[in-house]
Structure 1
Amino acid sequence: MVDADFSGGAEHVRFDDAARELTSVYPILIASASQVVQNSFNWNGPVDASLRCDIGFTPDAVVVRGEFVDDYPFCQPIARPAMPEWWMITYGGDGIQFTFDDPTSASRRVSFVLNFGSRATRPEVNLMASQTRPAGIISTADFELFDGQAPVNNGGQRAVMFRAAVPIAALGDSRLFSGPLRITLRMHDLDGDWSTYQVLQEVIERK
């Protein structure tokens, strides 16, 4: 459960400021059946759930920007969607999860999620896993949602644009981000009751 509200000793970061300091950017597209890693029988193509995201880094922040398509967006039936990792449903609502881990270590890992809130009324960034920080709301992060355009060949479904900047100090061990990094991007999609849950995922490595 995500209950705490903390800064992790980090100052508030603004997306526009962080975007000017980017040192590297990694684009990811999730839009194919092979990327549906849980309950693939629920997926009805990119118009159902798909995601494009650029993941960037500055010396002090993780910066993400992109857009997603969801035929039933902002579905969140419970206030705190983060679930224990042993549950079959690891996130009980629509959300975009970013996990960063050291490919040479079994334990060095941090994970946060863009929590849209029910009907996008209270978007926030939640820390889900860290070696040095408790799970909680990252109050020093900057996160915004915008109406996007209708991408080509998606049946006219309008995309939702997002952008966020998250201080590395609020995530925990800053040394994790200085070396090789495995980046896992997950789109959690819920269209109603729990039987509609599905997860789309892509994994890349930064050498």
Structure 2
Amino acid sequence: MNKFGLWAATLSALWAATASADSTEARCDIYPAGEDHASASIACTFSQRQGYVTITRSDGITHDLSPVGDEPGNYQDQDGHPVYRNSGLGDQGLIFRMPDESVYVYWSTAGLEPADDDNPTAPYTTADYDATTLLRCKAAGESEFGTCPGGILRMDGGQASIVVTSPKGEEFTINFMTDYVNATNRELKANLEGDMWTLEFANGEVWQVPLAAIEGG
């Protein structure tokens, strides 16, 4: 399990605990109320203690959230405004909906890392993977493909697992096995035409992965 999956499992346990405390560096995407595009993507720190949550943002804003009532996910902030926690990001993070904005907290900070002109596939390098690549990818609603970096771990029999970072900055793994293709914590439909896999994800993303990336050679 990668560190972000481990954080998700740990935090799930923390929600049920009454005497635990922890914090992690994270990425916060800020969505103004009623908007479907983030106005900012910034570094932040997520902390929890005995059900109380603190989100400290690098833009100087801090959200101190206190649990309200017996229903999980209901809070109020330091000014008494209602805040609701959603789990729509799966193991990638948590969503906190506030009156004026929503804060998407992602455990992965890969999307905040500056571009490395010497390594276009950063943060993936051949020090950790058999090969690295840039895959064609596009987010939901986009008409044109962009590129997303990936690190390839090859196995016998033309199989491979590719760790990738999505257009939204989410890191996950795509597994190309002999009898199936799947991805960690997300549904997809996979179609092989010629030497190209096309992957259509339930969240609307579309990826293309050439056989050469999987098999090498």
TM-score range relative to shorter protein: under 0.3
TM-score of the aligned structures, taking structure 2 as reference length = 0.27
Higher normalized contact order (CA 8 Å, seq sep 6+, divided by chain length): 1
Considering fraction of residues, name the structure with more strand: 2
